[in-house]
Amino acid sequence: MTKKLTEPILVCVIILALLCGCTSKTEEPTEYIGIISAMDNEIDLLLKEAMIDRVDTVADVKYHVGSLHGQPVVITRSGIGKIRAASGVTTMLNTYKISKVIFTGIAGCVADEPQVLDEVIATNLVEHDYGIFSNDGFEWRSGDPGFGGEPGLYYDCDAQLVQLAYDAAVEVMGMDHVFKGTIATGDQFIANSEYVQKLRSDYDAYACEMEGAAAAVVCIQYKIPFVVIRALSDKADGNAHESYENFGDTAANNSSRIVIKMLDTVGK
């Protein structure tokens, strides 16, 4: 075979090899499960268990993109408080095709029956610090941005995700350590017994934390199903800081184990 004939054939072979290489690249999943928390220790176990393909940084927040127990996921730590939670979820939903959102982490116990290290699966959430503070005191107006009409808006979690989370939590923790009910959200770390009583009497809350309702509002606006899973790190009383220091990491890992169990169930 002459050199003139060999060179065009070689070029064609190279082009075909390049084309085959391009078509064999791993394609992006059609949808991801979004997993979000407020603090690093609340996603540490998830990141250790995950296969992360890349880390995207948007507005100084890292979004870990990959798979966890066979499910395509985006995992992020938004930061503490309602503003950061809302920003993190909004960015996630605008950047990736998300099928559902799981908010995982720790919370303070409000109800009588649950104990530290038990789990609460939110059936709904409420902003306990949203309203009007006048000379007559605080008037709750949750979910009513115009401050007109009657207060009383609770944000409902997706019923199927609630059941999935509850079943996973029972399998991980045992039925006696898992509860379903309202979680109250506000921009305060609650460490006051009197305020705990108020959260219990006014909102029938099982737990209190600083992000869940904010994430719920965004998911509802985007019509994305969501659930909030909280492990109890303290009793939200005068000893809350000490209890959090002692049990915070263990509680955070318990919630992560439940998320992993949920993903295992989804994959079946």
Number of structural domains in the chain = 1
Average pLDDT, integer, range 67-80: 96
- Beta strands at 155-156 and 131-134: parallel, antiparallel or unpaired: unpaired
CB-based contact 78:218 (threshold 8 Å)? no
Residue-wise pLDDT tens digits, 203-223: 999 999 999 999 999 999 999
| pTM of the entire predicted model | 0.84
* pLDDT interval class at 239 (50, 70, 90): low
Say if residue 36's pLDDT is above 90: yes
- Is residue 120 in some structural domain? yes
Q: Which of 118, 234, 237, 264 is catalytic?
A: 234
Q: For the residues 75-96, what does the mean pLDDT come to?
A: 97
pLDDT band at residue 19 under the 50/70/90 scheme: very low
In this predicted structure, what is the pLDDT of residue 194?
86
Domain assignment of residue 245, given as a range: 29-266
CATH code for the domain of 162: 3.40.50.1580
What is the pLDDT at residue 173? 95
Q: Is residue 10 part of a domain?
A: no
Q: What is the 3-state secondary structure (H, E, C) of 52-98?
A: EEEEEEECCEEEEEEEECCEEEEEEECCCCHHHHHHHHHHHHHHCCE
The reply to whether 196 falls in a domain is yes
Specify if 260 maps to a domain. Answer: yes
Domain assignment present for 133: yes
Known catalytic residue at 42 = yes
Active site residue 171: no
Q: Is residue 39 part of a domain?
A: yes
Share above pLDDT 90 across residues of the chain, in percent, rounded to a whole number: 62
Considering the candidates 42, 119, 209, 211, report the single residue annotated as catalytic. 42
Length of the chain: 268
Q: Would 180 be classed as within a structural domain?
A: yes
CB 260 within 8 A of CB 46: yes
